[in-house]
Chains A and B, each alone.
Chain A
Amino acid sequence: QQQVKQSPQSLIVQKGGISIINCAYENTAFDYFPWYQQFPGKGPALLIAIRPDVSEKKEGRFTISFNKSAKQFSLHIMDSQPGDSATYFCAASEEGAGKSTFGDGTTLTVKP
């Protein structure tokens, strides 16, 4: 019940297009949903996060959409750029649980 399922595994988008990555969770006790971006040779870096009392959060070109009833959340990258090419991980955590549960990652390639 701790699993977070992420799709797709890989994604190729043209420059200027919209990248969409989806995640689904099962544990309804999760109350913090971050997205991390990882470049080769680096650790993951927090990109944007949302709590379940909000259905959408936008920061620049990055938007999280959250559907509590469906237990799903997604990352939208608008006007995708080659510099956005990286691996993206969704995660979920529960206050007091002391850990984050990560999806398996999506490798995004933005073609110029």
Chain B
Amino acid sequence: KAGVTQTPRYLIKTRGQQVTLSCSPISGHRSVSWYQQTPGQGLQFLFEYFSETQRNKGNFPGRFSGRQFSNSRSEMNVSTLELGDSALYLCASSLDSWEKLFFGSGTQLSVL
């Protein structure tokens, strides 16, 4: 079974721009969660989608949004980028989000 695929692997943007990250979950997994990983804050939960519906949301500003498509693929969007948004963004898929998470390799976002 193919693992979780995240694209792109690296992104460099400037402040004020917008970015979209993509995640393809493991086949059969309907839950997709997004996490932000930074050296200072560890892994922080952004949001979780299940069957195209956002079920849970973390404590991030409204500039962070996401969606899930009928094939379970998910996208995450960050608008009006700030320097502090520089981080590794990880997508995780699971059968149900509170149990075993299978992570992708992440998208490393650098905001200049």
Contacts and interface: CB of A to CB of B under 8 A. Distances in A.
- Chain A partners chain B: yes
Interface of A: 32, 34, 36, 41-46, 49, 89, 93-105
Contact of B56 (A41, A95, A98, A102): A98
Contact of A41 (B50, B97, B98, B105): B105
Contacts, number: 60
B101 interface: yes
Contacts of A100: 33, 45, 97-98, 101
A38 B39 CA distance: 13
A99 B43 contact: no
A43 B100 contact: no
Contacts of A103: 42
B43 to A, nearest CB: 4
A2 to B, nearest CB: 9
B64 interface: no
A44 B55 contact: no
B3 to A, nearest CB: 9
A59 to B, nearest CB: 13
Given A100-B45, A102-B42, A103-B42, 10 more contacts: A41-B105, A43-B105, A45-B103, A97-B56, A98-B50, A99-B33, A99-B56, A99-B97, A100-B101, A101-B45
A33 to B, nearest CB: 11
A102 B37 CA distance: 11
